[in-house]
Structure 1
């Protein structure tokens, strides 16, 4: 049996690999979808002996299958955003405390004590629908901050502008977490010069604006908020962990999460550091669903285990993994 303490106390890469292989064996035995996927690739508990031999489940399976490694009662169902008629991902969560431990520990690892901050959230497209894992996380961070001014803002931009200026001028440490298009809307209404505020973008134009490359986006946001760098969060519905960038688009993972970069033409092999490929995520907090996920994001890994997100696959299906007929 794998305990959450085993996951959240990982202190070395060697320990990470040991726990990851243990999680692989557990999920091979207990996750019907993942077991069948591994079997079709001729992978099993006997011939998988290292991280790079572990099969990664294409993320689209969360749209078409119940990806579960537990028979416990489902406590929460997180869903991805999508336009009307789109099939959305469903992440069935049997132990919500694992998610809460994951994001609380990760926040502490990268930013310190949540009570040192006032947390402001500008996440309109997430607030306006049910089942957002991001809203669950930010709502908890707002509550945990114990600051009377922490809270969500929907379309009340003028109120947010006043509050942000007031808090920043008072010397209060602030984190403004926002969806990209809403942050751009905000700086079109007011040009800031913030000294005590971290701006964290969660990505996504949600069809509201034209997508732009990160360098261009962050330059506009830095100028608009008057800050030297923009922080970013890399997470998704199908994960229970997030990576964070403290600036310049370079992300780092908490100790129980790791990134591998696969070859875009051969999904079962990996590219060297510095080369672009598909992002595979190991999220050991996903013990009750699947911890090994092949995403549709493109990125590259740096020598110090940090990584950059460079875009998405052009086509909706990940090449080299046409095993969706399970």
Structure 2
């Protein structure tokens, strides 16, 4: 295969891979796992070579470990940068004049946020990664509903005009543009830097979907759902959403005085918004990544098919075929055995102009081809989406 010498060439190759690896729903087209693995490895090594050459802090990081592209033969051996490095260094191949967007993760007050720089090309690739994996997990059965038109999205965050550096809001806006109808609405607000939910606006938007008998997709952080559900409970209010409505929740509670176990949160969503629990999905992502993991296919009635195990009642997360996850020992740096706990490491081919290999501070359990998420490691800094929500 001819070596990939530019980011533009790599982007074209990755788009082709995404199209092959994520066929349209119900098409029946599948690529053999061995071929996917081989192609992923080729692409990962090609992107590693480009990023080694063009991202100076990353090159220095690799050289300090005695590693260079010619010495790495497998994607799992590509050096992974800690997420904290995005706070200290400009991990990008983009010169300042070409940086048209930057996503921040918010830490505690006074701390420098992580910075993930993008240009139009890398944002387009971000969106090419986002759309098929979201559609597969949240909208798989949506075309068969009695309302086959665009989905109504009710988004429990502030709009992108108020949050230009939020990768989560950019994600939601991309999905709204791609799949949402004109009734879609943002019902979040921004107060002194903190996110909150405009409960009246949320109630109005959700109730309107029932009057139209139009299934709704509710998107938000876990704590935004708690805010809304607490308000509805205080009013003894239940919103009877149309059958087939669904919810996506993401983020945790680090830095918050109150936490709600995921199973309880999903039960509350089912109770107050009458969204059946098989239609409630959790997303895992971060500003340093360009791909997302989901734990469930909405409406499937089964968590990731046969990947649900007898050992755990938790949902298992999977990234798309163009990203891979490992659960690694913090002591040895090697992948742990099945069922063991370690730190999550992600290799994301859609991280075009930054670094593809990311070492997170999130604890996970290795479960087959997926992972069970446990939360932040002790002493890790709070992740942004939970800190942005008001207490």
Asked whether the 8 Å contact 2:154–2:217 carries over to 1, the reply is yes
CA–CA distance in structure 2, aligned partners of residues 168 and 41 of structure 1: 58
Structure 1 residue 100: deviation in Å? 2.1
| CA distance in structure 2 between the aligned counterparts of 1:297 and 1:237, rounded to whole angstroms | 14
- Please state how far the C-alpha of 1:257 moved relative to its aligned partner: 1.1
Which deviates more, 200-209 or 85-94?
200-209
Contact 1:120 1:175 in 2 (8 A): yes
CA contact (8 A) 1:8 1:256 kept: no
Task: Report deviation, 1:116.
Answer: 3.9
1:23-102 to 2 correspondence within 5 Å?
A: 23-71=47-95, 73-94=98-119, 95=121, 96-102=123-129
Offset at residue 76 of structure 1 (A): 0.5
Report the Cα offset of residue 238 of structure 1: 0.7
Contact 1:124 1:182 in 2 (8 A): no
Unaligned runs of 5+ in 2: 22-35, 144-148, 189-196, 297-302, 304-313, 382-391
Instruction: Using the TM superposition, give the Cα deviation of residue 171 of structure 1 relative to its aligned residue in structure 2, in angstroms.
Output: 3.9
Q: How far does residue 193 in structure 1 lie from its aligned partner after superposition?
A: 4.4
Secondary structure of the residue aligned to 1:3 is: helix
Measured in 1, the distance between the counterparts of 2:269 and 2:76 equals 38
Aligned residues: 315
Give the conservation status (yes or no) of the 8 Å contact 2:324–2:348: yes
Query: Tell me, what secondary structure is at the counterpart of 1:219?
Result: helix
Partner SS state of residue 285, structure 1 = coil
Contact map agreement 2:10 2:47 (CA 8 A) in 1: no
Deviation at residue 296 of structure 1 after TM alignment:
0.7
Distance 1:127 1:216 in 2: 33
Q: How does 1:281-296 map to 2 (within 5 A)?
A: 281-296=346-361
Distance in 1 (alpha carbons) for counterparts of 2:240 and 2:284: 26
Partner of residue 198 from structure 2, selected from 137, 156, 175: 156
TM-score by length of 2: 0.73
| Aligned counterparts of 2:327 and 2:180: Cα–Cα separation in 1 | 39
- Decide whether aligned partners of structure 1 residues 240 and 254 sit closer, same or farther in structure 2, where only a CA change above 3 A counts: same
**Which residue does 1:273 correspond to in 2?**
338
Q: Secondary structure at the match of 1:289?
A: coil
Aligned residue in 1 for 2:13: 6
- The more displaced of 268-277 and 63-72 is 63-72
Do the aligned partners of 2:336 and 2:366 also contact (CA within 8 Å) in 1? no
Give yes or no for contact 2:289–2:348 (8 Å, CA) kept in 1: yes
CA contact (8 A) 2:55 2:354 kept: yes
The structure 2 residue matched to 1:310, chosen from 340, 361, 374, is 374
Report the TM-score, using the length of structure 1 for normalisation.
0.87
Q: Following TM superposition, where does structure 1 have runs of at least 4 consecutive aligned residues deviating by more than 6 angstroms?
A: none
Superposition RMSD on alpha carbons, in Å? 2.5
Aligned with 1:181 (options 205, 220, 223): 223
Q: Which residue of 1 aligns with 2:135?
A: 108
* Contact 2:328–2:336 (CA under 8 A) maintained in structure 1: yes
Give the unaligned 5+ runs of structure 1: 318-326
Check if 1:245 corresponds to 2:295: yes
Maintained 8 Å contact 2:361/2:377 = yes
Cα deviation for residue 252 of structure 1 reads 1.9
Q: Check 1:146–1:122 CA distance in 2 against 1; reply closer, same or farther (3 A cut).
A: closer
Aligned equivalents of 1:307 and 1:242: distance in 2? 13
Greater Cα shift, 98-107 or 25-34? 98-107
Does the 8 Å contact 1:300/1:310 carry over to 2?
yes
Change (3 A) 1:62 1:139: same
> Counterpart of 1:138 in 2: which secondary structure?
helix
Matched residue, 1:204: 252
